Amino acid sequence: MIKIEGVKISGISVCVPKNFVNNEDLTENKKLISSIGVKQRHIASENQHTMDLCVIAAEKLIKEMDIEKNSIDAVIFVSQTPEYQLPATACIIQDILKLKNNIVAYDVNLGCSGYTHGLLLASSLVKSGLVSVLLLAGETPSKIVDNNDSSSNLLFGDAGSATIITQKVDSNISFVLGNDGSGFESIILDNDNNKKTSNKSNFLTMNGAEVFTFTLKRIPQLIKDTLTYSKLNKDDVNYCIFHQANLLMLKTLAKSIDINFDKFLISIDKYGNTSSASIPLTICHNREKIVKNPEKILMAGFGVGLSWSTAVSDLKDTVILPITEA
């Protein structure tokens, strides 16, 4: 349990590709569509990458919040689809956004748990004295999914997000994090330089049953721990904003942790599983609901690694922008 005092999520923005596909146009398997809960997904064009979506989200956030660029002391890019293997995409984004040179800029290679992990890193930097940190979490899984793989080709969508974390007295964010690397092959994209694994595919591969079981084993206890450490009762939580893994997973988790599914905010039906972008995307997609009840928001990310993390925060006075399509 990590509680960081004096920090706040000040603004959130998300950009998705304007191109989208309807899953019903791709398969007649209605049982699959209803189980994963994905009706449509936004898919990046050939020349549109994760960095591009995150940059658009960031530019909109900076403009709408009238953020002084010199106040941004760090940029963190969380993604598994970076622009290059090297250099870090955050370094490129610093230049594209015309941010100052005396800035912290680095990438984090995480997926489903990436947003909540990223929030911890950003909050820690703010707590250490930085004025504000720009957290960019995004993914373009369409670039790494095998279109012939029925376990993943209808599930994933593309999106990029930007979140600004700043100092604020009397505001805090609580975190619980964990990891179990013994399950690393459950969701994997190998590369040519590392052939130690049994996986020899050039595409993302996922053992859905293993991931499902991991989630059922780990996440209910994670939520219980988070509520205990945050001194919250499950009835106190206004909204659960969980990584949008798939609808069956979310419904099963809701029952397992005994929280009414009405408290679970959803975006997977319109955007699919967008990996590290799924939590901010779900926030922006449900902004009108959150504005009415912005306190005690429980966020949870879990998956590739296998890793997991939660963040409990108020989103009161947080600027939540409508989703941009580009």
Q: Are 250 and 244 in contact (CB under 8 A)?
A: yes
Using CB under 8 A as the criterion, what x/- string covers residues 31-60 for binding other proteins? xx--x-------------------------
Q: Is-catalytic flag, 273? A: yes
- Choosing from 15, 54, 112, 284, which is the catalytic residue? 112
Both tokens of 191, joined, read 């590369």
Per CB under 8 A, 255 contacts other proteins: yes
Per CB under 8 A, 291 contacts other proteins: no
Per CB under 8 A, 199 contacts other proteins: no
Q: Is-catalytic flag, 49? A: no
Per CB under 8 A, 167 contacts other proteins: no
Nearest to 174 by CA among 304, 300, 275, 13: 300
C-alpha–C-alpha distance, residues 77 and 99, integer Å: 14
Judged by CB under 8 A, the residue of 248, 289, 317, 325 near other proteins is 248
Judged by CB under 8 A, the residue of 59, 146, 180, 210 near other proteins is 210
Judged by CB under 8 A, the residue of 252, 269, 314, 326 near other proteins is 252
Judged by CB under 8 A, the residue of 1, 26, 216, 291 near other proteins is 216
C-alpha–C-alpha distance, residues 111 and 117, integer Å: 10
Size of site (CB under 8 A) for other proteins: 19
Per CB under 8 A, 146 contacts other proteins: no
Cis peptide before 280 (omega within 30 of 0): no
Both tokens of 122, joined, read 């950003």
- Choosing from 42, 243, 246, 285, which is the catalytic residue? 243
C-alpha–C-alpha distance, residues 209 and 312, integer Å: 28
12, 96, 145 from 59: Cα distances, Å: 11, 10, 28
User: Minimal distance in Å, beta carbon 241 to other proteins?
Assistant: 21
- Provide φ and ψ at 308, rounded to 5°: -155, 155
Q: How many other C-beta atoms are found inside a 10 Å radius of the C-beta of residue 292?
A: 7
User: Minimal distance in Å, beta carbon 246 to other proteins?
Assistant: 9
What sign does the dihedral 247-148-109-15 (CA atoms) show?
Answer: negative
Candidates 107-115, 188-196, 202-210, 304-312: pick the segment binding other proteins (CB under 8 A): 202-210
Q: Is-catalytic flag, 284? A: no
- 19 CB-contact burial (10 Å; exposed 0-12 / middle 13-18 / buried 19+): middle
Both tokens of 152, joined, read 């993943």
Both tokens of 238, joined, read 């206004």
In the bound state with other proteins, the residue whose beta carbon lies nearer, of 306 and 320, is 306
Per CB under 8 A, 212 contacts other proteins: yes
Q: Which residues are catalytic?
A: 112, 243, 273
Binding site for other proteins (CB under 8 A): 31-32, 35, 150-151, 207-210, 212-213, 216-217, 248-249, 251-252, 255-256
